[in-house]
């Protein structure tokens, strides 16, 4: 499933995937990769400066991940262009979700807060119990 959000002419698309081979349920280790595509449908050039993630497990425990750029880069995205990258996240539970935002700067030095769509981290190890 692809999740997407649009803010100020920037579209962020995220596709998570459970990584069965890297996960170890016996050790409460569940890993997901996620592919992100950021499309600039606006009229100004922007640069990604920082990322801010909230990663929440199925117990409701949230950890924040903040840092410069993404995967060691602070890409510049011109109008009509896009940037893609892959990353990963781990949980101690078989499901959870992620959301957050990017801080961009436009060519005039204005800061832009760009929404990252919330997306679920699902694995077949999560059991659903209806009561």
**pLDDT at 127 exceeding the cut of 80:** no
pTM across the whole model: 0.92
User: Mean of the pLDDT values across residues 10-20?
Assistant: 97
Q: How far is CA 76 from the centre of its chain?
A: 18
Strand extents, DSSP E, 58-131: 62-68, 76-77, 82-91, 95-106, 111-122
pLDDT tier, 85 (very low <50, low <70, confident <90, very high otherwise): very high
Q: Is residue 130 part of a domain?
A: no
Q: Which domain holds residue 52?
A: 3-122
Domain count, the chain: 1
Complete edge-to-edge strand list for the sheet that includes strand 3-7: 3-7, 10-18, 30-40, 82-91
Q: Is residue 128 part of a domain?
A: no
Residues 56-75 pLDDT 10s: 999 999 999 999 999 999 99
**CATH number, domain containing residue 39:** 2.60.40.1470
Non-local CB neighbours of 131 within 8 Å, separated by 6+ positions: none
User: Mean of the pLDDT values across residues 90-113?
Assistant: 96
CB 121 within 8 A of CB 18: yes
* Structure confidence at residue 83 (pLDDT): 98
């Amino acid at each position: 499933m692809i999740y997407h959000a649009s803010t100020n002419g920037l579209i962020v698309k995220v596709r998570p995937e459970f990584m069965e081979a890297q996960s170890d349920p016996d050790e409460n280790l569940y890993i997901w990769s996620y592919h992100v595509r950021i499309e600039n449908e606006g009229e100004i050039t922007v640069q990604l400066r920082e990322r801010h993630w909230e990663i929440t497990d199925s117990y409701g425990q949230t950890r924040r991940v903040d840092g410069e750029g993404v995967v060691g880069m602070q890409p510049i995205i011109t109008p009509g262009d896009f940037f893609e990258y892959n990353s990963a996240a781990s949980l101690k539970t078989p499901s959870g979700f992620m959301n957050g935002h990017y801080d961009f700067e436009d060519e005039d030095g204005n800061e832009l807060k760009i929404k990252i769509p919330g997306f679920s981290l699902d694995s077949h190890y999560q059991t659903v119990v209806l009561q």
